[in-house]
Amino acid sequence: MVIVLMVMHRRFAVGYTIKRKVKKALQRQEIERIVSLTEFKSKAEETARDIWLLLFYCNEVNWKDLILLRWDDRVDNCFVITREKTKLTSRANPRPIRIPIIPRLQA
């Protein structure tokens, strides 16, 4: 998708083109392949896969929110957090995010 903007700069019209990438999601089979991986070239590769799975199982929570996640954030069988990105916005009442603690997160 391409968006063209016309901006008045002094006396001249300047055209800018902004190219937006279409977001693509992994197919279910691709996710299943990642989950079932057992052979890795290095410990770092295995750790990267584990972190990716953790983010995926936490409803694709942001990195910063994952790093700040604490056991004290548990309410019943969920983590309840406020995204760091929205804490400082002008919203009077930011909505908390609920992350269910599924069995795979407990492993």
pLDDT at 2 (0 to 100): 43
pLDDT at 103 (0 to 100): 84
pLDDT at 106 (0 to 100): 74
Q: Is 2 helix (H, G, I), strand (E, B) or coil?
A: strand
Site of tokens 């750790």: 47
More confident call, 43 vs 2:
43
pLDDT at 5 (0 to 100): 45
pLDDT reading at 94 higher than 80:
no
The string of pLDDT tens digits covering residues 27-79 is 999 999 999 999 999 999 999 999 888 888 888 888 888 889 888 999 999 99
Q: Is 26 helix (H, G, I), strand (E, B) or coil?
A: coil
